[in-house]
Amino acid sequence: MIPSNIVVHQQSKVLELSYENEEAYRLPFEFLRVLSPSAEVQGHGPGQETLQTGKREVLIANLEPVGHYALKPSFSDGHDSGLYSWDYLRYLCENQEQLWKEYLDKLAAAGVDRDTPMTQAGHSCGSH
């Protein structure tokens, strides 16, 4: 389902998606960034995910459509390889509370918090 309206709110750091005859969904930039569908975040298979941290202040620097099927945000930390299909965005909207809880649980299990700087074996997301 394609949103009828998309608004980037830089001040409050949320992406607002409106669908016909529904209340608008508000997805925080941090939420979008840590759940990026990119291989850099999700890995190439189960168990290869890279836990994202230090993204609380991330902004969407640019948002562009990809054909008629996705959005490609460029984040202020340099991450721009995630293609957010309309289906994936809808999934994020409908499951936001559960997905955020799972993210916070993963942070706790790893012994880090949302603001821990992102480094993994010398690689940080903004370094490429």
Q: Span 3-9, mean pLDDT?
A: 96
Q: Span 115-123, mean pLDDT?
A: 64
> What are the structural domain ranges in the chain?
5-111
Of the candidates 86, 32, 87, 94, the residue with the CA atom closest to the CA atom of residue 60: 32
Which amino acid is present at 66? V
- Over the range 73-112, which residues count as b (16 or more CB within 10 Å of their CB) and which as e? bbbebebbbbbbeeebbbebbeebeeebeebeeebeeeee
Q: Span 85-105, mean pLDDT?
A: 98
Q: Is the pLDDT of residue 45 over 60?
A: yes
How much is the pTM? Answer: 0.90
Q: Span 45-67, mean pLDDT?
A: 94
Res. 118 pLDDT band, cuts 50 70 90: confident
Looking at per-residue pLDDT, the higher value among 23 and 99 belongs to 99
Torsion angle, CA of 66/71/74/79, rounded to 10 degrees?
Answer: -100
Q: What is the pLDDT of residue 77?
A: 96
Q: What is the pLDDT of residue 19?
A: 96
Q: What is the pLDDT of residue 123?
A: 41
Q: What is the mean pLDDT of the chain?
A: 91
Would you say domain 5-111 falls under CATH 3.30.2020.30? Answer: yes
Q: What is the pLDDT of residue 121?
A: 32
Q: Is the pLDDT of residue 111 over 90?
A: yes
Q: Is the pLDDT of residue 88 over 70?
A: yes
